[in-house]
Structure formats: structure tokens, C-alpha cells
Amino acid sequence: MDGNREILAFHHVAAGYGEREILKDVTMSVKEGEFVGLIGANGTGKSTLIKCISGLLPLKRGNITVCGRENTELKTKERAQLVAVVPQSYHVEYDFTVEDIVMMGRHPYMSFRKREGKEDYDIVEEAMRATNTEIFRNRFYNELSGGERQRVVLARAIAQKTKVILLDEPTSALDIHHQIEVMELITRLNREEKITVLAVLHDINMASRFCGRMVMLRDGVVLADGTPKEVVNRQNMETLYQMKLMIRQNPLFHKPEIVPIRVMEEERAKAPLQIHVICGGSGAVKLLEELDAKGYRVTAGVLNRGSSDWEMCQELHIRCVEEEPFTPITEKKQEENQKLMEDADVIVVADVPFGEANLMNLQGLEKMKGKLYFHKNALSSDYTGEGLVKQLEHIQMTKKIRYVGDHDEFLRCVAEDGVRLNEAGGELDSVQVSGGTKP
């Protein structure tokens, strides 16, 4: 089988409903054996494109070829022998059994003179076995659950024995168990039966996991086309969905996935203070994002590359001092860290465990001009013996430490600090000889 053979081709396709043009200029192709996920926000033309291939919606401009043949020249039965469609939902008015529904996939090969024969029944049996639907072959389709119905409709598509299967949001009405089940079935068909798949998918993470290629539509044109790694990036996804999100690598499937953060913007800080976050591991992920969202000028350090806090800094383009993974912080790196925080209005020690490897992060804080906050949880994650306590006592000989119970409390305090800074027009916290504020 020639894996480079073009199965579907779209040349400057434009289509819509009445005067409204949904697809404006779509040019792309699908090669034999590919599993392509079609993604995009609502109204971008994903389902419209499926209708155009199916012959249900005429084109306003351009053309589509199916297996090298002009789509408009194909008769209904000819097209059905080349392309099978699995819609979002499939309803029947009468009480057909599961086997009846699957047998409908053989109708493109029948005529007035030719009715279903042994070959058709064998193909239907094979399709039901592949989708695990033979166990309820005699049950009425309308009595089945959503997941069972979707498997039956997929069996019907398999029974058509086509080169291409088109899926229009095949998992949108299913729970997570049946979503995965249907996607695994489709993947198996693609890999084992070499069936070419073009699937409209709403769930980006599902598309990234199962599809070898993703095509992103926006405003009726192709905005991105490539592997999941090439398409699922922060710029593309934020452009598509108009919301703040982050991209991370799924450690199990080694595919990119999106983590939605927010649609509505955070209330901006009245005074955009410069805040330095001392963190590590994953204790400051949420804090870093919220500080950035509120418009504060944020820096961080010292962070080991690969930690969750470091990844968040990379996502948000937060300037930070970094160290090699699993490497103790050196005096040189802490000197860089001190340089980064020397102009900070506020320094916060986040919810981070302390050991001998990162205790260096606290060295020299007593010399910094910024107001110093310390998350109380860090005290209960102390693996330094008495090292952390002694370091804090040393800092408190010359500088006040304010202890906070959670990062929401810290955000409230910082907001108040911003107001005071505006009113005073100077530094928040001068260096002072003080015992500090005990936790």
C-alpha cells in the first residue's frame, strides 16, 4: 500500500449556509493511512467540511477530490463505497435491531436485484465483533446507551468497507470510559485495517493523544497543520480559544496537552510591584501564575530545571535563576539570585520544602530591601535539622519576616502593600533590627 497516496484533497474550498460563508479558503490533503484530527472552536467550519465531503452541502468555490475522483461527480452509492460517516448522534424512528443498523452499512453495495447475501452477513459479523457489539445484536438500537449506540454506528461504518471514515465529534456525548473506548477502536481500525480517518474532535487532549496529525481551523481557513507537538502550542491554542492556558507534556503518552487556566482576566493590581519568588518543586505554580495575571513584575529563583515551578516560569516568560536538575544551589547561583531580587519591592518564600540542597536560597535575604514574606508550610517541610531555623533567626536579627498561612493571604497583603507604596512613594520595608514576626 502506498502510504503517500492522496485520499482526500481540498482545493480552496469555500462553503456555507445561505449568504453566510463558514469555510472561506481551505486547502489541505489527507494521505492514505493517516489519522487526522480536525480541531477548532465552535463555528470554525469543522462539521461543515465533513458535510461537504459527504455531499450534503454544495461548495461555493473550490473542489474536493476523493480517492482521486471529483466529489461532485460521484453518485451517492459510489461515494458511500469510498467514504463512511460517523455522526455526532444517529437517531432512527423505528425499532431496528443492532444487526439491522450494522447491515445498513452494506446498502451501498445492494440494488433492487441484489439483496444481502452470505458475504454481507460475514462482513456485518466481522464489524460487530471488531466493535464488541455482537453481544447485543438482537437488541433494539433505541434501547442502547450512548456509548453502545456509538459503537454500533462505528460498526455500521466498518461494514461499509470504505477507504475513509469521517467522524464528526464521535465522543462529544459520551462519558470518559466510552470516549476512550471509541477512540481506541478508531485507532485500532486505523493501525490494523489501514483505514484513513478524518475526525472532528472538540477535546484537544484527546486529539493530541490519538491523532498522528492535527489540522486547526479558524475563521474558515487552516491556521495550523502538523503533528500534535507542532500544533498544540500556547500561541496556537490561545489564539484559537481566546483564553489563558498552559501546555505541558503528558508523561505517560509523551504528547502535549492543554491545561485551561482562565477566560476572564484577573483584576489587575493597582500598584504593579516587583515581586521575587523563592520557590522550587511545585509549591509556587499557582502563585506564579496569579501574580503574573495580576500584572506584577515577577522574578524567581533559584530553580532546578525541569521542576514544575521552573516550567511555569518558562510558560509565562518569568525571568528566573536556574540550576541543573538534582543539583544543590551554589554560592554563584545564589549571588545571581540576590542580584535578581535586589530591586524587588516584595520577596516571598513560597510553600517549598527545604533541605541542604536549597537552603542556600535564603542566604543574604537580610540585606535585601524588599519586604519579606515566608509561607508557614515551609516550616513543616524542613529537612535541614536546625539549618532552616538558624537561617531564619539570622535573617530576623536585621530584617522583619512576615509569616503567611497561604498564598491567598499573601496576595491580600501584597495588594495592601501596593496601596501603601503608592501613598508613601518609597520602599515598603526598610532594613531594621528586629526580632521579626513569629509564625
pLDDT single digits (tens) 56-114: 999 999 999 999 999 999 999 999 999 999 887 788 888 899 999 999 999 998 877 77
pLDDT in tens, 146-200: 888 888 999 999 999 998 999 998 887 788 888 898 899 899 989 988 899 999 9
The pLDDT of residue 439 is: 55
Whether the predicted pLDDT of 2 surpasses 90 = no
Q: In what order do the strands lie in the sheet with 20-31?
A: 69-70, 61-66, 6-17, 20-31, 221-226, 213-218, 35-39, 196-200, 164-168, 83-86
The confidence score (pLDDT) of residue 436 equals 46
pLDDT at 33: 93
Instruction: Give the separation between CA 190 and CA 34, rounded to whole angstroms.
Output: 8
pLDDT of residue 11 exceeding 80, the answer is: yes
Q: Which residues of 14-40 are buried (b: 16+ CB within 10 A; e: fewer)?
A: bbbeeeebbbbbbebebbbbbbbbbbb
Q: Of 197, 227, 261, which residue constitutes the final position of a domain? A: 261
Last residue of one domain, picked from the residues 261, 286, 310: 261
Q: Is 438 contained in some domain?
A: no
Is residue 428 predicted with pLDDT exceeding 80? no
pLDDT tens digits, 276-318: 999 988 888 889 999 998 889 999 989 999 998 999 898 888 9
Q: Specify whether 256 is located in the same domain as 380.
A: no
Q: For the segment 368-418, what is each residue's pLDDT rounded down to a tens digit?
A: 999 999 998 888 888 888 889 999 999 999 999 999 988 888 888 888 887
- At 245, the pLDDT band (50, 70, 90 cuts) reads confident
DSSP sequence for 163-201: SEEEEESTTTTS-HHHHHHHHHHHHHHHHHS--EEEEE-
Give me the pLDDT at residue 424, please. 58
Q: Are residues 304 and 245 in the same domain?
A: no
Has residue 431 been placed in a domain? Answer: no
Same domain, 253 and 340: no
> Do 235 and 113 fall into the same domain?
yes
Give the whole-angstrom CA distance, residue 30 versus residue 12. 15
User: Residue 166 has what pLDDT?
Assistant: 94
Q: Tell me: do 284 and 343 sit in the same domain.
A: yes
Q: Grid coordinates standing for 124?
A: 456485518
Q: Cα–Cα distance between 263 and 260 in angstroms, integer?
A: 8
CATH number of 420's domain: 3.40.50
Of the residues 261, 295, 316, the one at which a domain ends: 261
Identify the CATH number of the domain in which residue 21 sits.
Answer: 3.40.50.300
- For residue 300, the model assigns a pLDDT of 95
The answer to whether residue 293 sits within a structural domain is yes
Is pLDDT above 70 for 435?
A: no
Q: Are residues 107 and 157 in the same domain?
A: yes
For residue 251, which amino acid is it?
A: P
Residue 52 has pLDDT above 60, yes or no: yes
Average pLDDT, the chain: 88
Q: How confident is the model at residue 431 (pLDDT cuts 50, 70, 90)?
A: very low
Position 205, amino acid: N
Residues 6+ apart with CB under 8 A from 106: 116, 120, 123, 124, 159, 160
Cβ–Cβ contacts within 10 Å for residue 374, how many? 24
- Clarify whether residues 31 and 162 are in a common domain: yes
Residues 242 and 117 in one domain: yes
**Domain membership flag for residue 430:** no
Residue 314 sits in the same domain as residue 224: no
pTM: 0.78
User: What pLDDT band is residue 429 in, cutting at 50, 70 and 90?
Assistant: low
14 is in which domain, residue-wise? 6-261
pLDDT value at residue 427: 56
Let me know if residue 250 belongs to a domain.
yes
In a domain, 342, yes or no: yes
Percent of residues, the chain, with pLDDT higher than 90:
55
Over pLDDT 70: what percentage of the chain? 95
pLDDT for 120-136, tens place per residue? 999 999 999 988 899 99
- Mark whether 110 and 193 lie in a shared domain: yes
Report d(CA 143, CA 309) in Å as an integer.
50
Domain total in the chain: 2
DSSP element (H, E) containing 210: helix 204-210
Q: Are residues 232 and 314 in the same domain?
A: no
Residues 278 and 400 in one domain: yes
Mean pLDDT computed over 49-62: 93
**Assigned domain for 111 exists:** yes
Any domain includes 53: yes
213-218 and 35-39 beta bridge pairing: parallel
- H or E stretch covering 304: strand 297-304
Q: What is the pLDDT of residue 179?
A: 87
